[in-house]
Amino acid sequence: MVNENRLKQLQQQLAQKQTWLENELSQRPRSPQLGDIFIFIHSGDELGLQWVILDNKDSQFFIVPADDTPMVGSMDIDLPDSALCSPLTLRCDLGVWVEATDFDLDLRIGVLEEWHRRRALERVKQISEKPFKIQFQKNMIQFLKFWHSGLPKMLYRLVGDIASVGSVLYQEMNYEPAYLDFKQQLNNERRALTRTLSTTKKSTKPIPKNRFDWTWGLGLAIAAVLVLAVSLTVFWPKENPIDTTYQTIYAQKTDEMAEELDDFKFRWEKPPANIMAFSPEGRSPSPATKAFGAGLFTARESLLGKHEIRLSPPLLPPPSVPSWVTTEWNSHFQLGRWLFLLWTACQFPDEMPKTFWAQQSAILAQFIADFQAQTTDDAMDVMDKLDKQQIEQLLNQLPTLGTPESYDSYYDLGDRLKKVMSFLAPPPMEKQQ
């Protein structure tokens, strides 16, 4: 039986997204803009593709096809449900340069948020910088397609790792016959569009590069797999919503934000108040507290643009592990990251997109579920200090902008987050005499 309240909530969310989208479209200039989503009407358009502008140079624009087919390979980007124009999957390996005059502004139907555009453009760059590996993977895909059902999964993963593009989580989709046939249809429509628009087949623009259409012999591909299989190993971290939160905030970073972050001092960075070591009893904080502090510190330093983040000795994980992420206290580390990121967003609400706040509510719900499943004293302390009900209530009020009073919710949430960070962070450290 369908939950009527849930159904009503979904309908309200869809209506709200539609209102935001219409408002966004009404404010766009009467010229093609980065992030614009267009459709092109031509005789070869059988799939009803949408085309997203990811980059531009002079009077030319780099566009990639997008569709709502739920098949996602390593060279595609699947937009989250919170995106204005989702469901939508961007096919980043099928881009093409077109002229500004090729767009019909009456056929502009959507807008891709800036942080999603940057993520897609980064995927295009990854693809364009590895022409041999990409073509090698495509040749191997065609070769393996005929024996798809009889080959071990490990072989697919091996070829995917050698190509080193996109998330390993999606590599197996690259070899699904239905997916391969669909990508061929997409490529055919791309060619039909370029013929219709009489677009040049090559571009001198530096980034992103156009796709390479080189053809390599099957013998060379098989030889390459034997050589590369023993010489290349690529590791790709699993994406999580906290990384998306970071990317969103970092993409909107201003000089004022950088100054605010640079001036921010965590609890342990402040002068001690007549204490021994880390606590009045002279004992070091628990590993969970250290992990939380490391998460706070990592979030601040990464937002400041520091590529190498060095934790101070009191925040380091146990000597036997390389990172807090690989320990049982990873949830404490990630909570520290998220709380500081969210606090930063509260200080600069004008810079955040409207859909940002709904994403944070989902992250909070996941944290609550994670810590409720734990039975340690540290987890129970987090639940006590986090005050889920108050933070959830404040998040649900957002976004609210437009009047001086509407900013109170952001300030209230930021103040609550700052208290939680102070409660859970390692205390000041007494300088040893």
Architecture of domain 19-229: Roll (2.30)
Intervals of the chain under pLDDT 50: 1-2, 165-170, 199-207, 209-239, 274-282, 431-433
Look at residue 351 in the predicted model and tell me its pLDDT: 79
Look at residue 228 in the predicted model and tell me its pLDDT: 33
Q: How far apart (Å, rounded) are the C-alpha atoms in residues 170 and 184? A: 18
Q: How far apart (Å, rounded) are the C-alpha atoms in residues 67 and 87? A: 8
SS3 of 54, please? strand
- Residue 64: enclosing H or E segment and its boundaries? strand 60-67
**Number of C-beta neighbours around residue 235 at 10 A:** 7
Contact call for residues 52 and 36 (beta carbons, < 8 A):
yes
Look at residue 305 in the predicted model and tell me its pLDDT: 84
Could you give the residue range(s) of every CATH 2.30.30.110 domain in the chain?
19-229
Write down the pTM of the prediction. Answer: 0.48
**Number of C-beta neighbours around residue 184 at 10 A:** 10
The DSSP bridge pattern shows strands 108-111 and 36-38 to be: antiparallel
The DSSP bridge pattern shows strands 50-57 and 36-38 to be: antiparallel
Look at residue 6 in the predicted model and tell me its pLDDT: 61
**Number of C-beta neighbours around residue 50 at 10 A:** 22
| Alpha-carbon distances, residue 122 vs 76, 125, 182, 252, 418 (angstroms) | 11, 5, 23, 16, 33
| Alpha-carbon distances, residue 383 vs 149, 312, 327, 380, 388 (angstroms) | 47, 27, 20, 5, 7
| Omega cis (within 30) before 87 | yes
**Number of C-beta neighbours around residue 207 at 10 A:** 12
Take residue 248 and report the two structure tokens written for it: 């969103």
